């Protein structure tokens, strides 16, 4: 039975997904609560990793080592970094990387990689699901860093260097862990704001919309 791991940073990002999955059992490893379900002949393990890259990488490695994840999906919210990407759109990552680490350092030492690719087949299936569900979606780069981006100047500087579609605090770390372990990976993010000085919905308003949007896409992907 194939084991699929799903990582969200915050409980709100997994709430709708957990409500829709069959009855579960729980295991605790390294302080993380892993929720285990079976769906259509697959073993589904979802976990809340907490915010930022260290939490995300540690949780992803435990998910692989202790829970036997053979594929990892990172689902949650992100800030929009491109004028064509709007609030409540889905961004399907084609690759992930850190925006706050000099890539030369990562390339210099093993595994000599600073940009971590997402699984092509998963990207294509997710895009087809978004089309079927009528959800606006985009393919492109997602970048991650240790700080929440809420400044026009910081956003512009990151965009000038890396040209991302979205920014978050976990995808790059999970992608790096998956790459090191040769586990297929995809990050699917729903845009919550434009990562700038302007406000969008309040977080409380948006998290309910985002959780439903991402859960619908991930559940459809699991079914396939």
pLDDT digits (tens, 9 = 90+) for 96-118: 999 999 999 999 998 899 999 99
Q: What is the set of active-site residues?
A: 13, 193
Question: Strand pairing of 90-98 and 185-193?
Answer: antiparallel
What's the structural domain count of the chain? 1
Exposed/middle/buried for residue 131 (C-beta within 10 Å: 0-12, 13-18, 19+): exposed
Of all residues in the chain, what percent carry a pLDDT higher than 70? 95
Contact by Cβ (8 Å): 3, 45:
yes
pLDDT digits (tens, 9 = 90+) for 142-181: 999 998 888 899 999 999 999 999 999 999 999 999 999 9
What are the structure tokens assigned to 20, written together?
């829709």
Q: What is the mean pLDDT of residues 196-214?
A: 69
Exposed/middle/buried for residue 46 (C-beta within 10 Å: 0-12, 13-18, 19+): buried
Boundaries of domain holding 113: 2-223
CATH of the domain at 193: 3.40.50.1580
């Amino acid at each position: 039975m194939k084991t699929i791991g799903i990582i969200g940073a915050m409980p709100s990002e997994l709430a709708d997904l957990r409500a829709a999955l069959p009855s579960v059992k729980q295991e605790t490893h390294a302080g993380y609560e892993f929720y285990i379900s079976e769906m259509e002949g697959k073993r589904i393990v979802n976990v809340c990793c907490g915010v930022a890259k260290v939490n995300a990488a540690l949780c992803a490695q435990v998910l692989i080592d202790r829970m036997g994840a053979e594929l990892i999906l990172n689902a949650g919210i992100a800030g929009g970094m491109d004028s064509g990407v709007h609030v409540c759109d889905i961004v399907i990552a084609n690759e992930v990387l850190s925006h706050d680490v000099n890539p030369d350092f990562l390339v210099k030492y093993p595994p000599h990689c600073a940009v971590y690719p997402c699984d092509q087949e998963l990207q294509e299936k997710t895009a087809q699901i978004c089309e079927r569900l009528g959800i606006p979606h985009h393919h492109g780069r997602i970048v991650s860093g240790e700080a929440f981006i809420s400044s026009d100047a910081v956003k512009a500087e990151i965009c000038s260097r890396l040209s991302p579609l979205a920014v978050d605090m976990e995808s790059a770390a999970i992608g790096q862990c998956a790459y090191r372990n040769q586990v297929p990976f995809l990050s699917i993010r729903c845009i919550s704001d434009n990562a700038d000085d302007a406000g969008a919905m309040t977080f409380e308003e948006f998290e309910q919309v985002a959780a439903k949007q991402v859960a619908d896409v991930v559940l459809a992907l699991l079914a396939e």
